[in-house]
Copies of this chain bind each other. A is one copy, B any other.
Amino acid sequence: MTRYTVKDMAMLSGVSVRALHHYDEIGLLKPAHLGANGYRYYGREELLRLQQILFHRELGLPLERIKALLDDPGFDRVAALKAHRDKLSAERDRFAQLIATIDRTIAQLNGERTMTDNELYDGFSAQKQAQWEKEIEDRFGAHGRTKIAESKANFAKMPAEEMAAGKAEMEAIHAALAAAIDAGEAADGARVQALVARHFAWVCRAWKPNRTAYIGLGRMYTDSPDFRAVYETVKPGLTDFLAEAMRVYAETTLRD
C-alpha cells in the first residue's frame, strides 16, 4: 500500500506543506493514517481528493464550500470534472482571446508610431476596419459559445462563487439591467446609462469600440439569434433594451 508523507503530497500536487496542514486542520483533507510519531500519511484516495480540491480551488471556491461539496454523498466526480473541464476551456479561450487582443494592440501601437511619420491614413483605416470586423467575429463566436455552453449546463444551479471574475461582472450587469427593466426604468435613464457605461468598460477589456462600433455591437445583439437567445433567457426584452441603451450611450458619450 502506497504511503505518502506531507512532502510527497506537496511535491506531487504542488501545494505547500503548510497548506496540507491547514487542510487537515479544517477537516478538508485528513491523512489516511497517523503514525505513532504523529506523522501524517496519505494514500491514493487522499491524492485523488486533493486533486479534486485543487480543481475547485482553481475556480475560486472557498475551502469550506469545497469541503461541503466533496463530502456530499450525492457528489458525482465525473460530472464535476466535466463541468470543470468546460469552465476551464472557456477560461482558456478567454485568455487566448486576450492574448490576440494584446498582440493587435501592440501591433497598433507600433503602427501608430510609423503612421505619424508617414501619414498613411487610408491604409490604416481600411486595415483597422478589417481588424475590427475580425475582432467582432472572434469575440462574437467565443462569447456566444461560452454563454450557450453555460446555459446548456445547469446555469441556474451554479453557485455564484463558481463564476469566473470576468463572467461574474457580465452577469452582474445583466442582472442589474433586468432589475432596471422590472423597475420600469427607461433605457436612456441615468441608472441604466451608468450600467451601460459598465458594460462598455467590460467590452473595453478586450476591445475598444468607437461610437458606430459600439452601436453596431448592440445591433448585433438584436440581430443574432444566438445572442438573442442568451439575453432573452436572462430577461425577456433585455436584448432590445440593452441595444437601445447602448445606442443612447454611444451617441451621447462616444466619438466616431
Q: Which residues of A contact B (CB under 8 A)?
A: 2-4, 8, 11-14, 44, 48, 51, 55, 58, 77-78, 81-82, 84-85, 88-89, 91-92, 95-96, 98-99, 101-103, 105-106, 109-110, 113, 133, 136-137, 140-142, 165-166, 169, 172, 194-195, 197-198, 201, 204-205
Contacts and interface: CB of A to CB of B under 8 A. Distances in A.
Nearest to A50: B201
A114 to B, nearest CB: 11
A14 B109 contact: no
A82 to B, nearest CB: 7
A92 B12 CA distance: 21
Given A92-B95, A98-B58, A8 B78 contact: no
A209 to B, nearest CB: 15
Contacts of A13: 198, 201
Contact of A2 (B55, B109, B110, B136): B136
Contact of A142 (B3, B82, B85): B3
A8 B140 contact: yes
Given A2-B136, A92-B96, 18 more contacts: A2-B137, A2-B141, A4-B140, A8-B140, A12-B198, A13-B198, A14-B169, A44-B133, A48-B105, A51-B204, A58-B98, A77-B109, A82-B106, A84-B102, A85-B99, A85-B106, A88-B99, A88-B102
Nearest to A169: B14
A199 to B, nearest CB: 10
Contacts of A96: 92
Nearest to A52: B105
A165 B109 contact: no
Given A88-B98, A99-B92, A12 B136 contact: yes
